[in-house]
């Protein structure tokens, strides 16, 4: 069942999502060669809890019943989603997608950003730029009266015309009191198909795009998912509300991008 949110509920969702964005900003400050993803996780959990929230990912079960052991997902290079933080130092030239969720005042926040570690190859920078652009193209289609297929079509056509793979098995989702609510929001589709978008609908749009094939493999930990061909993958995610007929982005990349510019 799709649960449409009131204006007051949308503001509570905004609070949760801006905390996610602030957490990703703290991570942006320390991402560099030699840092471990476990260090990123420790920082994120402390920051979330210091702000009166709970990390929604920690303890979240997968279909096998295994609870996720960390507060953020850290997916490095060919890991597409759900990478578990560990003690392996990040290397110059890596990319790491950091997916983060919070729960505060009864509502969830969810956003993801793919960070560069040191000097990254141009072809990978191009992948990141295209993935982020596809996110905003999808958001442009999140207008009352449009359909979910319009969002997926915008993401898919932009990425595939550039020769990238569009992941099928993992999709965006509704969000509210629960991290994952109806409807599912695929990053592929046909225009004019799927559920109609209405005011009060809150969804997470999250393109997962690969430099090579979109085919995936599950890691033995039953969480991390990698590209079958070993090519790098990018992942960007915003939570939005359809508000007054158009998309209202509840999360933010603004401060993250400012930090990135200062680093460069």
Return the CATH number at 108. 3.90.230.10
Residues 62 and 80 sit within 8 Å (Cβ to Cβ): no
pLDDT, position 107: 98
Question: How many angstroms from the chain centroid is the CA of residue 138?
Answer: 13
CB 41 within 8 A of CB 84: no
Q: Is residue 115 part of a domain?
A: yes
- pLDDT tens digits in sequence order for the chain, 264 residues long: 999 999 999 999 999 999 999 999 999 999 999 999 999 999 999 999 999 999 999 999 999 899 999 999 999 999 999 999 999 999 999 999 999 999 999 999 999 999 999 999 999 999 999 999 999 999 999 999 999 999 999 999 999 999 999 999 999 999 999 999 999 999 999 999 999 999 999 999 999 999 999 999 999 999 999 999 999 999 999 999 999 999 999 999 999 999 999 987
Q: Which of 139, 117, 123, 110 is nearest to 210 (CA)?
A: 123
User: Residue 43, Cα to own-chain centre: how many angstroms?
Assistant: 18
Q: Residue 105: exposed, middle, or buried by beta-carbon count in 10 A (0-12, 13-18, 19+)? A: exposed
CB atoms inside a 10 Å sphere around CB 219: 13
In sign, the C-alpha dihedral spanning 178, 182, 232, 127 is negative
If residue 183 lies in a helix (H) or strand (E), which one and from where to where? strand 181-185
Per the listing, tokens 């602030």 go with 22
Distance between CA 132 and CA 140 in Å, rounded? 13
For residue 144, which phi and psi values (nearest 5 degrees)?
A: -55, 130
Q: Give the per-residue pLDDT at 264.
A: 77
Overall domain count for the chain: 1
- Provide the residue range defining the domain that includes 55: 7-263
258 CB neighbour count, 10 Å cutoff: 12
Which sign does the torsion angle of CA 11, 7, 100, 121 carry?
negative
What is the rounded CA–CA span in Å between residue 234 and residue 126? Answer: 10
User: Does a structural domain hold residue 2?
Assistant: no
Q: What is the pLDDT of residue 237?
A: 98
At residue 263, the pLDDT reads 84
Q: Are the C-beta atoms of residues 121 and 94 closer than 8 Å to each other?
A: no
C-alpha radius of gyration, the chain, whole number: 17
Q: What is the pLDDT of residue 80?
A: 98
> Distance (Å, rounded) from C-alpha 75 to C-alpha 159?
20
Residue 1 lies in a domain: no
Q: At what angle do helices 254-263 and 7-30 cross, to 10 degrees?
A: 10
């Amino acid at each position: 069942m799709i649960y449409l949110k009131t204006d007051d509920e949308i503001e509570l969702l905004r609070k949760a999502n801006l905390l996610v964005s602030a957490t990703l900003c703290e991570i942006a400050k320390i991402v560099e060669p030699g840092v471990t993803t476990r260090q990123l996780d420790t920082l994120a959990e402390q920051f979330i809890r210091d702000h009166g929230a709970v990390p929604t990912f920690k303890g979240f079960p997968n279909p096998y019943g295994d609870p996720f052991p960390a507060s953020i997902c850290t997916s490095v290079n060919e890991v597409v989603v759900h990478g578990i933080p560990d003690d392996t130092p990040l290397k110059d030239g890596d990319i790491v997608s950091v997916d983060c969720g919070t729960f505060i005042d009864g509502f969830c926040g969810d956003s993801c950003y793919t960070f560069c570690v040191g000097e990254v190859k141009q072809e990978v920078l191009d992948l990141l730029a295209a993935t982020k652009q596809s996110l905003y193209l999808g958001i442009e289609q999140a207008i009352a009266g449009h359909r979910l297929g319009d969002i997926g079509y915008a993401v898919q056509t932009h990425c595939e015309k550039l020769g990238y793979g569009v992941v099928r098995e993992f999709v965006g989702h509704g969000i509210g009191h629960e991290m994952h609510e109806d409807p599912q929001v695929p990053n592929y589709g046909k225009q004019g198909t799927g559920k109609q978008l209405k005011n009060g609908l809150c969804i997470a749009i999250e393109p997962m795009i690969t430099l090579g094939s979109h085919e995936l493999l599950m890691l033995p930990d039953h969480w991390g998912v990698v590209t079958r061909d070993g090519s790098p993958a990018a992942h960007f995610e915003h939570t939005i509300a359809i508000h007054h007929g158009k998309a209202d982005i509840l999360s933010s990349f603004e401060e993250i991008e400012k930090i990135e510019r200062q680093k460069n």
